[in-house]
Chains A and B, each alone.
Chain A
Amino acid sequence: MRRQVSATGVFTFFLAAGAGILLTAKLHLTATEDLLSIPLWILWLAEALAYLAALLIWTPNISRSFLVLGIAGILLLRASIAAGAAAVGLLIQPDLEIETTFLECLTEPLPRACSVIFALMASYPLRVLFPHRISGGTQKIQSREQTSPEAAVGSPAGTFLFGAPQGRHVEKDASADAASAQPAPEPAPPLPDHLRKVEIDVPFKVVFPQLPAGVLRSDIAERAFQDSQEMQIRIPLNIIAPQLKEALIQISVAALLSFLPKGWAETPMSGAEEMIDLPLEVVIPQLPEEVLQLQPTSPPDWAQAAADQESILFARV
C-alpha cells in the first residue's frame, strides 16, 4: 500500500517547522549564555533519547533500520530548523557571523531545546511513512522468500509455488480491499498464530484470465499463459480468512502480483487496483478444519423451547 502524508499532515509539518524556526531564532537572539549551563554530552544524549522515545511511541513495531533512519531524519529536520533560525537571526541582526549563529542555534541549550521540540512536532505527521514490523506469518513469509531466491526469480516454466515477497504490503492491501468490497457485519475472528503461516495454493490458470491487460509484461504473459496449467500461486491464509464470512474472496491485482516473481509486472502498471476473484471451490477445500469452526453460541429461546419437545406434525404419505 502506498504511504502518503495527508494534507493536514503537510500543513502541520510546515506550521511546526516555521514556528520552530522563528522561536529558535528568537531564543537565540535573547538567550543569555549563562542561563543554562548543561554539559554538551548530556544535551546530545537527551536529544537522542527524545527522538528514540518519540519514534517508539509513534510506531511501536518500527523496524531497527527505520528507527535509525527516523532518528537521522529528525536530527536533519532539527538541523534545518536551526539553520532557518540562523538565517532569520542574520536577517534581524546582519552583523552576526553566519557560522557562529548557526552553531549557536544548533548547540545552545535553549534554542536547541526549542528546535528539538519543534522538529519532533514537525516530524509527527511524517510518522506514517515508517512501516510497521509485522509479526507472525507475514514475517516468516518474508524470511522464506529471502532464503529461497529461486522462487523469487523463478521461470514461468514448470510447476512452482510463489511466496510473498512483500507480505506486509499485501496484508494491508487485502484487508483494505476486503473492507471496500463488502462491509462485513460480523467481523471474522482473528486467525490463531499457528494458522498464520498456512498458505493456500491457487492455480495461476484461474486468475490469469481475470488479470487486466497491461499488468504483466507481454513476453511473460505469453509464456505464463502457455504454462498456466501447472503453475500455482501461494497466498497466505491471513489474506483469505477475513473474507470467508463474505463468501467472496478477492485480492487486488497489485497484491496478487506481489506473489509472482519479480520482474513479471509491467511498469508502470495500470489496473493495479482491480480485484481478482479467488474461486471458493479452490480455496475452501484447502482450509484447515478449525478455520471454519463456529464460535459456541447460546441457542435462541425458541430453539431451546423446541428442543424440550419432539413432535412430528406432518408425515410423508
Chain B
Amino acid sequence: MASINYALKEVSCKIVYYGPGLCGKTSNLQYIHQHTIADKKGNLVSLATPGERTLFFDFLPLEAADIHGFRVKFQLYTVPGQVMYNSTRKLVLRGVDGVVFVCDSQWDKVREDLESFRNLQSNLASYGYSLETIPYVVQYNKRDLSNICPVNYLEYVINTRQVPGFEGCALDGKNVFESLNCVCGMVLANLRSKQQEGSL
C-alpha cells in the first residue's frame, strides 16, 4: 500500500499495469517513459526475452507535481502476461495502490482478457485486496487494428463495475496518459478519503 513519509513530505504509490500476454502493458510504460519530462522520471527497468515478452516485470518510477506540499511519486509496474508466470504477477501485486487493466481489443483475445481479469481478482484476493477497494481503470488497447471487437462488448465482459474506461493505442500513445492520470487521481483521492477516515 502507499507509503507516506511525513518527515520527507513524500507520498509513494504503486500502480500496476495488468492484462493478458501481448496486450500492450510494456508499450504503455515505454510510451510514458518516452514522453515524460526527464527530471520527473527514472530509468525504465525492463527484463524481457528476445521476443519482447516480459520475463519478470517492467518498472518505471515517476514523480508527479507536488500536492499540498508533498512530493508524490508513482512506481509503475507491469506484470508478465503469460499464464505460467502467475507467481510473479502475484508478487508484483503486493502493496498495489491502483491498477490499469489493459485489454487486447482483438476478437480472439477477448477470452484471454476475461481470464486475465479473473486472475487479477484472484491474485488480489490472495492478499485480501479487492477491486472494490483498489482503484482501477480499464484501457481497451489496440483500437487501431481492424479485427477488434466493439467497446460495448468489452465493457460487458470486463468492465461490469463501469469504472472509467479508455479506448487506447499504446504504440501511438492514444489515451495512455489519460489512463495513467485517471488511475493516479483515483489513487490519491482514495488515499485522502482513507486518511480522513483514519484508516491510513
| A contact set with B: CB distance below 8 Å | 185-186, 244-248, 279-281, 284-285, 292, 294, 297, 299-303, 305-306, 308-317
- B112 nearest CB neighbor, chain A only: A247
- Partner of B192 from the list A244, A299, A305, A312 (CB cut-off 8 Å) is A305
* A297-B161, A315-B177 known; A246-B114 Cβ under 8 A: yes
* A247-B113, A302-B190, A314-B36 known; A292-B152 Cβ under 8 A: yes
Min CB–CB distance B71 → chain A (angstroms): 12
From B32, B147, B190, name the one whose CB has the most chain A CB atoms within 10 angstroms: B190
Query: Inside 8 A of A302's CB, which chain B residues have their CB?
Result: 133-135, 186-187, 189-190, 193
A281 touches B107 (CB 8 A): yes
B189 touches A306 (CB 8 A): yes
B111 touches A312 (CB 8 A): no
Query: Inside 8 A of B37's CB, which chain A residues have their CB?
Result: 317
- Partner of A292 from the list B74, B156, B190 (CB cut-off 8 Å) is B156
Query: Inside 8 A of B156's CB, which chain A residues have their CB?
Result: 244-245, 292, 294
- Partner of A303 from the list B40, B111, B135 (CB cut-off 8 Å) is B135
Chain A CB within 8 A of B9 CB: no
- B98 nearest CB neighbor, chain A only: A302
* A186-B160, A292-B156 known; A306-B72 Cβ under 8 A: no
Report how far A227 CA is from B147 CA in the complex, Å: 26
Q: How many A-B residue pairs have CB under 8 A?
A: 108
Extra contacts, 12 of them, besides A280-B107, A300-B161 (Cβ < 8 A), are: A185-B118, A280-B149, A281-B147, A292-B153, A294-B156, A294-B159, A300-B163, A306-B135, A309-B185, A310-B185, A313-B181, A314-B64
> Can you list 10 residue pairs at the A/B interface with Cβ under 8 Å?
A247-B113, A281-B147, A284-B150, A300-B133, A306-B135, A306-B185, A313-B64, A314-B40, A316-B36, A317-B36
Query: Inside 8 A of A185's CB, which chain B residues have their CB?
Result: 118
Query: Inside 8 A of A292's CB, which chain B residues have their CB?
Result: 152-153, 155-156
* A247-B110, A292-B156 known; A313-B161 Cβ under 8 A: no
- Partner of B188 from the list A281, A285, A299, A311 (CB cut-off 8 Å) is A311
Query: Inside 8 A of A306's CB, which chain B residues have their CB?
Result: 135, 182, 185-186, 189-190
- B180 nearest CB neighbor, chain A only: A314
A301 touches B193 (CB 8 A): yes
- B106 nearest CB neighbor, chain A only: A281
Chain A CB within 8 A of B52 CB: no
**Residue-by-residue, is B104-122 near A (CB-CB < 8 Å gives 1, otherwise 0)?**
0001001101100010000
| B contact set with A: CB distance below 8 Å | 32, 35-37, 40, 62, 64-65, 72, 74, 107, 110-111, 113-114, 118, 131-135, 147, 149-150, 152-153, 155-157, 159-164, 173, 177, 180-182, 184-190, 192-193
Query: Inside 8 A of B187's CB, which chain A residues have their CB?
Result: 302
Query: Inside 8 A of B162's CB, which chain A residues have their CB?
Result: 294, 297, 299
Query: Inside 8 A of A309's CB, which chain B residues have their CB?
Result: 185, 189
- Partner of A312 from the list B62, B118, B155, B181 (CB cut-off 8 Å) is B181
Query: Inside 8 A of B157's CB, which chain A residues have their CB?
Result: 244-245, 247
Report how far A258 CA is from B189 CA in the complex, Å: 56
- B113 nearest CB neighbor, chain A only: A247
Query: Inside 8 A of B164's CB, which chain A residues have their CB?
Result: 303
- A279 nearest CB neighbor, chain B only: B107
Report how far A247 CA is from B185 CA in the complex, Å: 31
- B183 nearest CB neighbor, chain A only: A306
Report how far A316 CA is from B32 CA in the complex, Å: 8
A305 touches B186 (CB 8 A): yes
- B41 nearest CB neighbor, chain A only: A314
Report how far A8 CA is from B80 CA in the complex, Å: 51
Report how far A315 CA is from B177 CA in the complex, Å: 7
- Partner of A313 from the list B65, B114, B163 (CB cut-off 8 Å) is B65
A305 touches B189 (CB 8 A): yes
From A248, A306, A310, name the one whose CB has the most chain B CB atoms within 10 angstroms: A306
Report how far A299 CA is from B162 CA in the complex, Å: 7
- Partner of A316 from the list B40, B107, B173, B182 (CB cut-off 8 Å) is B173
Report how far A267 CA is from B65 CA in the complex, Å: 73
B190 touches A305 (CB 8 A): yes
A247 touches B111 (CB 8 A): yes
Query: Inside 8 A of A280's CB, which chain B residues have their CB?
Result: 107, 110, 149, 153
* A284-B149, A305-B192 known; A316-B135 Cβ under 8 A: no
Report how far A294 CA is from B156 CA in the complex, Å: 6
* A281-B147, A313-B72 known; A247-B186 Cβ under 8 A: no
- Partner of A305 from the list B147, B149, B193 (CB cut-off 8 Å) is B193
Report how far A135 CA is from B147 CA in the complex, Å: 38
